[in-house]
Amino acid sequence: MNMIVLCTMQQIFPNSEVFELLQNIPGMTWTPGVSQRFTNLSEFQLSSLFNPIMFKSQIQSQKQDTNHFSNTELPDNWSWVEQSPECIVVGDQGYCGSCWAFSATNQLSDNRCIQQKDKQRINYSEQFTLACDHLSLGCNGGYLGSVQSFLFKKGTVTDSCVPYTSGKSSHQGKCPNKCVDGTELVLTKSSSYKGQLQGEMQIMAALMKGTVQTQFICYEDLMYYTAGIYQHVHGKIKAAHAVQMVGYGEENGVKFWTIKNSWGQNWGENGYFRIIRGQDECGIEIDAYELNP
């Protein structure tokens, strides 16, 4: 299932009634709270993170063979944050619905570092991806299939060449033909990608190579997540949101995915969150993308 990832909130945060309700639900696997990331934000600023409309994508993946593993060949726990901490960096999309561009471009950055295609992690330009993938909608959202195809066919430049500015302006701007210092663009592409990985085993196997881009349905209660293993318990659908899977594990008998978000380090567990694994929670296991640098 491909869908456009648009990323708005229709009400001012926090809603005291929702917060109180979440604090009194028994058996929660996660801790609700008011994140520093959203403190003192206007309704407009919050609306830049989500949008409730979703569409099917017409983009087809560049199909590649994936190694197949049995569950006995895969480790019980895995985290690129622990394995290669120098390669995994949490970004902040700001007030632009660019989660689709952030998760894909950072997947390229992270995986090139993990697979040692770059001597050290290079931050590739989310801004260039955002402005130049014309099959997506800039700050109004994008398609995972489209952005993966874009990085494979065209590629992106470094962040130092085209820095991220849309987080403050809320507009993607024009696709540049020069770096900000006037030098020529040097594009870096992915070597291949495989889309629509589905299910726990396929995603776990893909994570052995690097981080995985995915999308999921956001509900109102995610805005109140601060720590723990997220599971939807209350509220209406607010959005589709694109993120990166960076690992998996189990805590107190509850299996989880470790997710790198693009809301900065002041949200969730230092910019990450964990979500129930193995039951397609919020649709997070039905449209994941492997990117080979």
Q: Is the pLDDT of residue 66 over 60?
A: no
pLDDT of residue 19: 86
Q: Return d(Cα 33, Cα 22) in angstroms, integer.
A: 9
- Tell me the catalytic residues: 99, 241, 261
pLDDT band at 13 (very low <50, low <70, confident <90, very high): low
Q: Return d(Cα 49, Cα 45) in angstroms, integer.
A: 8
pLDDT band at 67 (very low <50, low <70, confident <90, very high): very low
pLDDT of residue 9: 39
Q: Where are the domains of the chain?
A: 4-288
Q: Comparing C-alpha atoms, which of 233, 164, 241 is closest to residue 8?
A: 241
pLDDT band at 1 (very low <50, low <70, confident <90, very high): low
The gap between the terminal CA atoms of the chain, to the nearest Å, is 24
Q: Is the pLDDT of residue 84 over 50?
A: yes
Q: What would the pLDDT profile of 183-218 be if each residue is shown by its tens digit?
A: 999 999 999 999 889 889 999 999 999 999 999 998
Burial of 1 (0-12, 13-18, 19+ CB in 10 A): exposed
Burial of 185 (0-12, 13-18, 19+ CB in 10 A): middle
- The answer as to CATH 3.90.70.10 being correct for domain 4-288 is yes
| pTM of the predicted model over 0.85 | yes
